[in-house]
């Protein structure tokens, strides 16, 4: 997931736990801490990034070590403090596990048992950017803040600023949803606008929420329901994609769906990547309308002799470690190594020179 989602989730958890400002800061740090592994790009470039990202800092053994380190740092920096080490460690672990859980939902994958096993695990439930999760986490966070209609003038100003920030963030998120969802944006826009209007009316009328924790818990429960629905729709899309490819092939050859990705902001549309011998078939499925669109298969070409000439390169090693649906292309004296989940995307595609011989 993107770091905005991790940050909003950490803030929502802080409201759920009713922590003090120090606890909130700790949760926000812990909710983003595993992504510090992107620093590998500074030292080893793209190959190091693909090998190290979603690595040990995202694995369960690493997460427990990170929780102890973060708690120790906060205990040392904040001395004297009323918070005990077990409390700090518990909050840090909660934030880290939220990062682990969100990343586990995506088709990018995680390696949960490093350093004992390097096997990837893929949730195939949510896209790496999900505006609906932004909206729900932000709502859980903001409905738990003090009512701007009560308390001191300073408290009211602080609450109003926080609410203004929420509305601004809502507007930006809504614009992103509309931009991504295209012609189906009306349903999304109306639903999200109604959510913002309801929350705003609670502030304008000074109808305070008696228990911020309870409100945050209800909204966080909505997150669980949303992800359950998303997983169910993804399962239906998977069945329809397999059926479409099987019908086209006449039932011959092994078929396996190896990646399912919902469209950002449109949770009933999916891109399903169906693996067949020698190719990957992209199939776009709209679960609500029943529309199924098969795109041109992508040839994997993994049996070309030229691949053997670059097996010792850093690029080849990183490609094999990261790629879930690897493919290769040849021409112009180079081999292009990519992943069918992100074809042509520069962050995971390598061009490796092999001289004038260009293959077939």
* Residue 187 CB coordination number (10 Å): 12
pLDDT > 70 fraction of the chain, expressed in percent and rounded:
76
Per-residue pLDDT, 241:
93
- Total-model pTM: 0.82
Parse the chain into domains and list their residue ranges: 3-224, 230-298, 300-353
Place of tokens 């929780």: 67
C-alpha span between 108 and 150 (Å, rounded) = 45
* Ranges of residues in the chain whose predicted pLDDT is under 70: 78-83, 143-212, 251-253, 355-360
Residue 356, pLDDT score: 52
Q: What are the residues whose beta carbons fall under 8 Å from the beta carbon of 333, sequence distance 6 or more?
A: 353, 354, 355, 356, 357, 358
> Residue 331's pLDDT is what?
86
Phi first, then psi: give them for residue 82, nearest 5 degrees. Answer: -80, -20
| Closest listed residue to residue 92, CA positions, set 16, 24, 6, 21 | 24
Q: Are 250 and 177 in contact (CB under 8 A)?
A: no
Structure confidence by residue, pLDDT tens digits, 20-58: 778 888 998 999 999 999 888 888 899 999 999 999 999
Q: Which long-range contacts (CB under 8 A, 24 or more apart) does 267-273 make?
A: 267/132, 267/226, 267/229, 267/230, 267/233, 268/233, 269/184, 270/233, 270/234, 270/237, 270/238, 270/241, 272/237, 272/238, 272/241, 272/242, 273/325, 273/340, 273/341
d(CA 358, CA 309): 12
Alpha carbon of 223 to those of 31, 109, 218, 324: distances in Å? Answer: 17, 20, 9, 28
Quote the pLDDT of residue 292.
Answer: 94
Quote the pLDDT of residue 23: 85
CA distance 63 to 39: 17
Q: Within 10 A of 89 (CB to CB), how many other CB atoms are there? A: 20
Q: Match 């759920």 to its residue by tokens.
A: 16
- Is residue 249 within 8 A of residue 301, CB to CB? The reply is no
Which pLDDT does position 256 carry in this prediction?
74
Whole-angstrom distance, CA of residue 9 vs CA of residue 105? 14
Residue whose C-alpha is closest to residue 62's, from 13, 88, 23, 100: 100
């Amino acid at each position: 997931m993107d770091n905005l989602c991790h940050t909003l989730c950490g803030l929502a958890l802080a409201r759920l736990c009713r922590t003090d400002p120090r606890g909130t800061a700790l949760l926000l740090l812990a909710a983003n801490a595993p992504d510090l592994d992107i620093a590998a790009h500074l030292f080893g470039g793209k190959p190091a990034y693909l090998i190290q990202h979603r690595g040990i800092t995202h694995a369960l053994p690493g997460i427990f070590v990170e929780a102890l380190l973060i708690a120790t740092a906060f205990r040392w920096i904040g001395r004297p403090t009323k918070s005990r080490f077990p409390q700090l460690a518990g909050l840090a672990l909660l934030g880290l596990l939220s990062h682990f859980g969100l990343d586990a939902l995506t088709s990018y994958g995680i390696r949960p048992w490093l350093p004992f096993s390097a096997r990837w695990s893929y949730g195939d439930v949510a896209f790496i950017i999900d505006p609906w999760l932004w909206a729900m986490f932000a709502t859980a966070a903001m409905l738990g803040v003090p009512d701007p209609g009560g308390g001191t003038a300073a408290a009211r100003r602080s609450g109003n600023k926080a609410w203004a920030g929420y509305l601004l963030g809502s507007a930006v998120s809504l614009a992103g949803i509309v931009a991504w969802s295209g012609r189906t944006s009306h349903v999304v826009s109306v639903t999200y606008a109604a959510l913002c209007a309801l929350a705003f009316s609670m502030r304008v009328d000074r109808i305070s929420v008696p228990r911020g924790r309870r409100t945050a818990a209800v909204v966080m429960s909505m997150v669980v329901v949303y992800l359950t629905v998303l997983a169910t729709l993804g399962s239906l899309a998977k069945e329809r994609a397999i059926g479409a490819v099987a019908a086209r092939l006449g039932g011959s050859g092994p078929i396996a769906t190896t990646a399912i990705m919902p469209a950002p902001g449109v949770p009933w549309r999916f891109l399903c990547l169906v693996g067949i011998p020698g190719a990957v078939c992209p199939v776009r499925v709209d679960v609500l309308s029943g529309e199924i669109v098969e795109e041109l298969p992508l040839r994997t070409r993994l049996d070309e002799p030229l691949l053997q000439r670059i097996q010792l390169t850093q690029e080849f090693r990183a490609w094999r470690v990261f790629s879930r649906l690897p493919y290769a292309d040849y021409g112009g004296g180079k081999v292009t190594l990519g992943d069918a989940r992100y074809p042509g995307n520069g962050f995971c595609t390598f061009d490796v020179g092999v001289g004038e011989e260009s293959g077939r």
